[in-house]
Amino acid sequence: MLRLYSLGLSQFFLFAATVLAILANVGQVSQNIVARNIYLAKLKPGNVAQHLREEGLTADNIMANNQSALLQKNQGVRNLYAIGMYGYCGGKSLKDERTCTEMNFGYVFEPDVIIGEDLPNADSKALQDLFSRYDIKPYARKHWHPAFYLTFIGTIFVGVAFITTCLIHLAAIAVAGFFASFGFLLLGVGAAIWTADLYGLNNSEPVGLVITYGNALWFVWAACGSTLIGLPALFTSTYAGRTKWDDGIERGNYYQTGAY
């Protein structure tokens, strides 16, 4: 009983972790209602025009007239950019007049590149100088990639852990324990790196950008937490199971030995 109860409990939490981690992955990959509302970070140009002007850069009419025009083609800065794991979308809001970039494995969030590629007639060198002065670029550059891979592999690990628990077999549960433990670590480190990166990127106010944490980040944290909660139950089920397996067979009817 204890074994099945623990197993069910761990399955529940590993299932929740898998769903949460997958949700974090699907953010911005398409325009459907679920994907478009999930993002790792939000980027708003704020008063970037004023700061560009202070630097002697051309900054007249930098906002896009057509908010759903193609991104990365100097067609104007968008009101709001939402950053996903594989790319980003930009437009008037999360709901309408928006468009997305192509999705790439291992996308790295670089606010200056996003703005630079949308600015009409931008002096990209001066823009980069402006950004590097505030240490904005190094943050994303250094850590975004590892965080992406840790989270991506972590997602697979908790998914495999959940599927493995469905096999209700002792060896399978040990394997699930392995994947869940590493999945927990990978997701935790990935989420921590992203949180630290975005904390650093918050300091982009000096260049007029407003960068805020997105819900996908909390999904990764929640997936990590859910895996952690599922672990003790999983190990309990392994332990209870092994007791039954090792002792039960030798002693005959396990339930009559009073070992429970």
Ligand X SMILES: *[C@@H]1O[C@H](CO)[C@@H](O)[C@H](O)[C@H]1NC(C)=O
**Contacting positions for ligand X (CB under 6 A):** 66, 68-70
Q: How far is the CB of 64 from ligand X (least distance, A)?
A: 9
The amino acid at residue 28 is Q
Cβ closest to ligand X, residue 78 vs residue 137: 78
Torsion of CA 239, 245, 248, 253, to 10 degrees: 120
Beta pairing, strands 80-83 & 88-91: antiparallel
Query: Least CB distance from residue 73 to ligand X, whole Å?
Result: 9
Identity of the residue, 66 or 121, whose beta carbon is nearer to ligand X in the bound complex: 66
Taking every pair of C-alpha atoms in the chain, what is the biggest distance, in angstroms?
A: 86
DSSP structure class, residue 47 = T
Which residue has the closest beta carbon to ligand X? 66
CA distance 83 to 27: 8
Report in angstroms how near the CB of residue 68 gets to ligand X at its nearest: 5
Helix axes 136-165, 215-243, angle to 10 degrees: 30
- Considering the complex, what minimum distance in angstroms separates the CB of residue 233 from ligand X? 51
Query: Measured from the CB atom, is 50 or 93 closer to ligand X?
Result: 93
Phi/psi at 81 (5° precision)? -115, 135
Backbone torsions φ then ψ of 27, nearest 5 degrees: -50, 125
Quick one: 64 or 136, whose CB is closer to ligand X?
64
* Complex with ligand X: residue 70 or 259, whichever CB lies closer: 70
Cβ 59 to ligand X, closest distance in Å?
Answer: 22
How far lies 174's CA from each of 68, 160, 235, 240, in Å? 50, 12, 8, 12
Least distance to ligand X, CB of residue 45, Å: 19
Under 8 Å between Cβ of 44 and 216:
no
Decide whether 34 or 70 has the Cβ nearer to ligand X. 70
With left for phi above 0 and alpha for psi between -120 and 50, is residue 205 left, alpha or beta?
alpha
User: 68 or 72, CB closer to ligand X?
Assistant: 68
In the complex, minimum distance from the CB of residue 214 to ligand X, in angstroms, rounded to a whole number = 25
- Phi–psi pair at 110, nearest 5 degrees: -130, 100
